[in-house]
Amino acid sequence: MVDSSWSARSLGRRRGVELDSAILDAALEQLSTVGWNGLTMEGVAAGARTGKAAVYRRWSSKADLVADVLRAGLPPLGEIPDHGSIRADLVVLCRGMRDAMISRAGTALRSVLHECDTVSADRFHELIRTGLTEPSHRLFLALVQRGIERGDVRPDATGAFVADVIPALMMYRSKVCGSEWGDPDIREMIDQVLMPLLRA
């Protein structure tokens, strides 16, 4: 049987990365359950089993804390190996974007944008740009260039508007229409929209 008083003393002595991680996990849990409006620094401290002062020493405001929670929680897209065709590469890219959007942090980010004030929303829109939109643009253009060199993408398919098509469609369908992106939907989008747009 574990001595609860010993456990409490041990938890109280956490420092550095271990405590930071516990606070971030507790904040993400609050975002997932009570949303932006319900999240409090006191509730996060209780969830992390630490004092409120420990939270405020690291993050001076709720917005600062939530920004770090979302930044740390969004899964990175990573590099995409050559699968032999632009279509196969795009399927992998779109699945990665879908997985980021439906991750706990991605879901929390969408909820936060609906609830928070305009100033905070601007900050979180920036997180979408740096954490999802810009990385997806870079990956998409790298895949297009690879397709051009392979000969299955037309040479002039490198414009910024072309790179906007995937995130625009995925975010519109997810945020505005409330639709989820299953693998069949991803393949249909690629076949009906992207392949005609990119085909050499």
How far, in Å, CA of 125 to CA of 134, rounded? 12
Report yes or no: 162 and 195 within 8 Å, Cβ to Cβ: no
CATH number at residue 92: 1.10.357.10
Q: In this structure, what token pair is assigned to residue 43?
A: 């509730």
182 shares its domain with 132: yes
90 shares its domain with 178: yes
Domain end among 71, 99, 123: 71
Burial class (CB in 10 A: 0-12, 13-18, 19+), 87: middle
59 shares its domain with 109: no
- pLDDT given for residue 2 in this prediction: 33
53 shares its domain with 30: yes
* pLDDT value at 10 more than 90: no
Q: What is the pTM of this model?
A: 0.78
64 shares its domain with 81: no
* pLDDT value at 5 more than 80: no
Gyration radius of the chain's alpha carbons: 21
Total number of domains constituting the chain: 2
Range of the domain at 173: 74-198
Domain end among 23, 55, 71: 71
